Structure 1
């Protein structure tokens, strides 16, 4: 296991726990999708996974070492974080934006060299936006920006990639493109942890799923076992049907919308 989380708990004020009792592990080439409603602690958990926030209880080990004992640069070399796409103010060229991912591998006053630039260019090719290399990152579309963020993370050459709702605010086509890219990165050996509001995404790319509610996991394990009407109903407070769609070649989640009689 490259990343192991045991009985993790976090509180901002030492009184109210944002999450508690969270345990899971992930190895190279595996993908874990964390589902759950707004305000349940998913984003805070991610901040703990990338060592931005320290746990109040429990442990996170990275490559067998306690993450809190590792220098931040070492954590950044091993774990890449992809935030939700946001507005970029400064008009960096896309290639320069991706090149920023090399920062953990450079000394304090060093500048990226030819090898670093080649790694950044290869990351652009991997995500399929090499044609945007010279474009200002502030002028590309939301879907293209999400791919640029993933390329920047790839330039870190991480063992683990953590993505916070990577398909939020994307249109249907770009959602599928980003999900397929994430699936390919896992196939190439990167351990992937992502959060999502869309249970269907777990059927598309994840071997494993965790459903989070009220600061804890109500279920974690293989997608086929965890994504049940009972678990999803408990998490989201609605009735959910799960059915196999032959044309899609997979199971899908269908919310039941109750309409009172007129």
Structure 2
């Protein structure tokens, strides 16, 4: 579904991404991890053509993304940024319905199916009770849930999420990862950036690790996230132990 060949990106004189090559298939949940400044957000934005790489070939379903129109790209990729503060007091329902805009046809506007997709997404995220509230009155976590609901309503085959759980409490963090796992099991490609490698161990079947704009590891999560990789990424010692048949990362004090 997604193939990237030799992706490089410069910001002024800084070489941010260096010859990144990457393949991902439908039905996979990829975790993206790395230290601050490793190029994770830049990488995600290059995939969506929000930033223009210095050189690369990117193929989505076999089609070179240079030939894909903006309207078509909106049908292929749904994006959830780290945080977004809308300047206008749209309701939660209105924000989620904006996810249906790539599917709207001319003057006919929203259809019954569009409202159905929006309400399903809000119900799945547990925000139906705040559907009429203005997003400007919400907490950061509630706004993030609204943005994730919007991306689900968009119903694109690829979902890209940049730190989707950073503003959420522990319960909602786990709920979101469970939803992302469910979405990938339904056949979508999900790529989610996280600063908590435990989340990737528990939910992502594959992981890409970036450091200094380069890939230092890529593949099956359980094989990729090791004490050695964690030390290389974070410059600290960590151990991985089994707790109730789940691997759990702990710092070595």
Q: TM-score, normalised by structure 2?
A: 0.94
Aligned to 1:194: 192
Kindly state the Cα deviation for residue 122 of structure 1 after the two structures are TM-superposed. 2.0
Task: Check the 8 A contact 2:46/2:53 in 1, yes or no.
Answer: yes
Unpaired stretches in structure 1, ≥5 consecutive residues = 258-262
Q: TM-score, normalised by structure 1?
A: 0.91
For the residue of structure 1 that corresponds to 2:42, the secondary structure is: helix
Superposed CA offset, 1:61-97 (max 9, x none) = 1010111210011111010001123333322111111
1:95 aligned to which of 93, 96, 106: 93
Aligned to 1:125: 123
Kindly state the Cα deviation for residue 131 of structure 1 after the two structures are TM-superposed. 2.4
Q: How many equivalent residue pairs?
A: 253
2:208 aligned to which of 207, 210, 213: 210
| Aligned equivalents of 1:3, 1:43: Cα separation in 2 | 17
Superposed CA offset, 1:12-56 (max 9, x none) = 23x431011212211111011010011110010011011111221
Task: Check the 8 A contact 2:144/2:167 in 1, yes or no.
Answer: no
| Aligned equivalents of 2:54, 2:105: Cα separation in 1 | 31
For the residue of structure 1 that corresponds to 2:152, the secondary structure is: helix
1:254 aligns with 2:250: yes
| Aligned equivalents of 1:95, 1:31: Cα separation in 2 | 27
Kindly state the Cα deviation for residue 143 of structure 1 after the two structures are TM-superposed. 2.8
Superposed CA offset, 1:113-146 (max 9, x none) = 3332222122212323222222222223333322
| Aligned equivalents of 1:222, 1:141: Cα separation in 2 | 35
Unpaired stretches in structure 2, ≥5 consecutive residues = none
What RMSD in Å do the two structures reach over aligned CA positions?
A: 1.6
| Aligned equivalents of 1:24, 1:253: Cα separation in 2 | 26
